[in-house]
Amino acid sequence: MLKDITLGQYFPGTTLAHRLDPRTKILAVVCYIVAIFNCHSAWAYGLMVLTLVVSARVSKVSAKALLRGLKPVLFIIAFTAVLNLFYTPGTTLWRWGVLNVTHEGVVMAASMIARIALLITGTFLLTYTTSPIQLTDGLENLMGPLKRLHAPVHELAMMMSIALRFIPTLIEETDKIMSAQKARGADFESGGLVQRAKALIPLLVPLFISAFRRADELATAMECRCYHGGEGRTKLHVLHYQTRDYAVLAFYLALAVGVIVLD
Amino acid sequence: MEDIIQVENLTHTYGIGTPFERSAVKNMSLSVRRGELLGLIGHTGSGKSTLIQHLNGLLKPTSGRVLLDGRDIWAEPKKIRDVRFRVGLVFQYPEYQLFEETVYKDISFGPKNKGLTGDALDRRVRESARFAGLDEDKLGKSPFALSGGQKRRVAIAGVIAMEPEVLVLDEPGAGLDPRGREELLEHIRAYHTERGNTVVLVSHSMEEVARYADRIVVLSHGSTLMSGTPREVFARGSELTRAGLDVPQATRIAMELRKRGMDVDPAVYTVEELRDALLAMRKGGAR
Amino acid sequence: MSKIFQTDNLTYTYPGDEEMPPTVALDGVTLDIERGSFVVVLGHNGSGKSTLAKTFNAVLLPSGGTVYVDGMDTADEALLLEIRRRIGMVFQNPDNQIVANVVEEDVAFAPENLGVPTEEIRRRVDDALEAVGMTEFTLHAPHLLSGGQKQRIAIAGVLAMLPECIVLDEATAMLDPMGRREVLNVIEGLHREKNITVVLITHHMNEAQHADRVVVMNDGHLVMDGTPKAVFARARELRDIGLAVPDTVALLRELKAAGMDVPVDAITVGDCADAIVRAFSGSTSAAGQPKSR
């Protein structure tokens, strides 16, 4: 059910990966993604997988948990792979009617699968080991210079952290409303596309109403706790880079540069 | 009395294979008798919410069985929707599931899904609105313009309108003030007597269950702790308090009186009973 | 003793819209609350009790009349933050007042807003969590806690502002009996040990036994005001406005009506039992009732 979705879920812990500065982890993931998209040879992909496996080990995140994160995007991965498989021009390996599988297509499809899978699992590793609050703190801090251009950095960070805070609550609520409507005989699983879309009304209307009510109450509660925007705010946790952060950053930077230059 | 629902060795485990794995219901067995008003009681985390979602097939047992009229409800998984019409489930704070433009339409949702139309549908909507204590003039209104208590009645009517053989209500009085609570429960009781249908009332208020139920099942930590008539259950008051449950205040007074050496029946659970017991004792003593 | 709240002829009207006419929620309420007291505000849904609470820290501004907090007018916008810092509010739905994903971050929210230095925030967060008995949950995710625990976090969240007063706006209404007891125990402890003023808005009559003063609202008016004993002595009037007296008081009234010599104002179970035992040992020395202790 919906509860099994792990999108953006945080597993608390005290590993090295958990203790790293969130900014380090965000930048590391950025480096990693840059590296992924500059991979061409098998050894480079191998290196990427190895990096991921080691990072997952260090964070004590199980392979199962990582792979479960891929479930919701399986369709997109399969779709992209199939497109690449049949529509990449090159030396034909196999042909059946209009379907034409080329050598280049196979390579392209395989690398697409690898790229998307690595991209997703890499990002998930970040959210598994970094609490949403740290994540937004990190982002707010990294984006800090934009404040000078009057970009609403604090507001965006606050919105994001509240959104993240309410994801589990709203998932639970969706589950509850769905069950309640099913108990009245609602059918979310069968019928054509139009029928299915229509079947969602009894779910979406209450969900929206409830989300608005929550937003309203939360806003009042925040004001009661003296929230008045980002001005003059202090922090419980102030971010400090430490030696380990520099080490990790250096490694990922080297990885990205290495792949770009050598591969 | 025969059993309409039998729960046999039910276990339900959430989040199998994640760090959050946990069994909410463990090897639980209990039965619901045809035509009774059963009180189901237990503190938060006792497994009552998980249990009731098994009664109409919203959750599937990890192991164990749920029998409705002697048949395993999962015998034909494709027909599980039929079970939901036969066992009507009203969730906690059900007012949050309303979605239609009018009260009338919202109440029709269940029976329509069951395939009802025309006069039969109309009759059911009006009748169930009456059972839930809603005035006719509310039917044309938007459910969102009603007060919290009235919204809840709309939601309850929406389930009654499916004419289920068993009506399960999860904390129907939660969050209502004393008067709202009492009125609502009186309506449920009237529905029960008039229809003679089976009702399962889930609550964490002992007072409430004591006042309305024929029989009580007490759940604790995912299994059945005890069951019996209110009198039988509250006679074991100290066991209940040890399990972290409240006993009715009248029972607590009786327990305190016994501690102070008075020979009061420990199984009283209403103010009236305790009053009568005390007055009888006084007569006996004065004679 | 100085007054923490002073309302004078306070009126509040909710503005209407196309569908709903405006509703008068408070109609000429004049009420003083002493610093350091424990006041329970009773009333059925729609009696105006929650609206009253929301005027106490300027979430709602009076439509008419005035509200003073520690001598500060809530209508004065310059004083807004100071008023809200002094008056901590805890609301009904635990899920809709927790801002952060980690317990300590949530408790830190208010001091962060107030610009308290980092080391001081740490100290306040730790103290507040200890005061509500939630220290072991410092690093937990709030959405996995029980209702009672969430409300204790919410209380810790306002404690971190070092408030003068905590207003609980039906904060126990959505809790089960255990959660309710947890919250009440914490609140009583704070009142006793830190001398924090408590205003508890509720429709659970039993919660009034903890108070030194009970205020009853009906239809936007203040209809009763006195000690719990004095208020519960007016059982019939309470019933007329949709409230019930605790079973202890109800039993004693029944016994008295049947001719027994008992006081009708023992509210706790223990006091009630004591009163009955006393009545029995006084009136019936014969026939071994009650048995000797």
Give C86-115 pLDDT, tens digit per residue: 999 999 999 999 998 889 999 999 999 999
CA-based nearest residue to C72, from C140, C4, C12, C11:
C4
Residues A240, A222, single domain; the answer is no
Distance CA A202, CA A224 (A): 34
Residues A177, A247, single domain; the answer is no
pLDDT bracket for residue B115 (50, 70, 90): very high
Cβ-defined contact of B94 to A180 (cutoff 8 Å): yes
List Cα–Cα distances, C39 to B128, B178, C32, C51, C155, in angstroms.
Answer: 42, 20, 11, 16, 17
Contact C196, C33 (CB under 8 A): no
Residues A113, A32, single domain; the answer is yes
Count how many pairs of residues, chain A against chain C, have C-beta atoms within 8 Å.
99
- Rounding to the nearest 10 degrees, give the CA dihedral for residues B219, B222, B223, B224: 10
Q: Is residue B9 over pLDDT 70?
A: yes
Residues A211, A95, single domain; the answer is no
Q: Is residue C290 over pLDDT 70?
A: no
Q: Which residues of chain C neighbour B273 with C-beta distances below 8 Å? A: none
B286 in reach of chain C (CB within 8 A): yes
- pLDDT value, residue B246: 79
Residues A214, A242, single domain; the answer is no
pTM, two decimal places: 0.85
Any domain includes A143: no
Tokens for C189? 């402890």
What is the total count of domains within chain A?
2
B109 in reach of chain A (CB within 8 A): yes
The terminus-to-terminus CA distance of chain A in angstroms comes to 42
- Rounding to the nearest 10 degrees, give the CA dihedral for residues C33, C39, C42, C46: 50
- pLDDT value, residue B1: 67
Q: Which domain holds residue A198?
A: 153-232
Cβ-defined contact of C91 to A217 (cutoff 8 Å): yes
Residues A211, A257, single domain; the answer is no
- Rounding to the nearest 10 degrees, give the CA dihedral for residues B113, B115, B119, B123: -50
CA-based nearest residue to B131, from B58, B68, B194:
B194
Neighbours of chain B (3+ CB pairs under 8 A): A, C
B205 in reach of chain C (CB within 8 A): yes
Cβ-defined contact of C59 to A220 (cutoff 8 Å): yes
Average pLDDT of span C264-289: 77
Sorted by sequence, the CB contacts under 8 Å of residue C224 that are 6+ apart come out as: C214, C215, C216, C231, C234, C237, C238
Q: Which residues of chain B neighbour C173 with C-beta distances below 8 Å? A: 175
Residue with the two structure tokens 């820290």: C57
pLDDT bracket for residue A8 (50, 70, 90): low
How much of chain A, in percent, has pLDDT values that exceed 70? 97
Residues A111, A227, single domain; the answer is no
Residues A244, A122, single domain; the answer is yes
Residues A112, A157, single domain; the answer is no
Residues A54, A118, single domain; the answer is yes
C77 in reach of chain A (CB within 8 A): no
Question: Nearest C-alpha of chain A: how many angstroms from B208?
Answer: 24
pLDDT for A56-107, tens place per residue? Answer: 998 888 888 888 778 878 888 888 888 888 877 777 777 777 777 888 888 8
Query: Considering all CA atoms of chain B, what is the largest pairwise distance in Å, rounded to the nearest integer?
Result: 70
Collapsing DSSP to helix, strand or coil, B241 comes out as helix
Q: Is residue B286 over pLDDT 50?
A: no
Distance CA C36, CA C54 (A): 20
Distance CA B101, CA B96 (A): 14
H helix or E strand, kind and range, residue A154: helix A153-183
Upper half-sphere CA count for residue B263 (Cβ side, 13 Å): 11
Average pLDDT of span C220-224: 95
- For chain A, what is the total number of helices (H) and then of strands (E)? 11, 2
Cβ-defined contact of B17 to A182 (cutoff 8 Å): no
Other C-beta atoms within 10 Å of A107: how many? 16
Distance CA C280, CA A73 (A): 75
Residue type, C29: V
Q: Is residue A1 over pLDDT 70?
A: no
Sequence spans of domains, chain C: 3-228, 246-287+289-293
pLDDT for A178-220, tens place per residue? Answer: 999 999 999 888 778 888 888 899 999 999 999 999 999 999 9
Q: Which residues of chain C neighbour B24 with C-beta distances below 8 Å? A: none
Strand ranges (E), A66-225: 92-96, 99-102
Output b/e per residue, A156-183; b: 16+ Cβ within 10 A.
Answer: ebbebbbebbbbbbebebbebbbbbbbb
Residues A109, A228, single domain; the answer is no
Q: Is A49 exposed, middle or buried (0-12, 13-18, 19+ CB in 10 A)?
A: middle
Question: Nearest C-alpha of chain C: how many angstroms from A216?
Answer: 9
Provide the CATH topology of domain B3-247: Rossmann fold (3.40.50)
Q: Is residue A141 over pLDDT 50?
A: yes
pLDDT for A147-188, tens place per residue? Answer: 888 888 888 888 888 887 888 889 889 999 999 999 999 988
What's the CATH architecture for C3-228? Answer: 3-Layer(aba) Sandwich (3.40)
- pLDDT value, residue C283: 57
Cβ-defined contact of A214 to C117 (cutoff 8 Å): no
H helix or E strand, kind and range, residue C277: helix C269-283
B74 in reach of chain A (CB within 8 A): no
Q: Is residue C249 over pLDDT 60?
A: yes
More confident residue, B210 or B98: B98
Cα C68 off chain centre by: 19
Range list for CATH 3.40.50.300 in chain B: 3-247
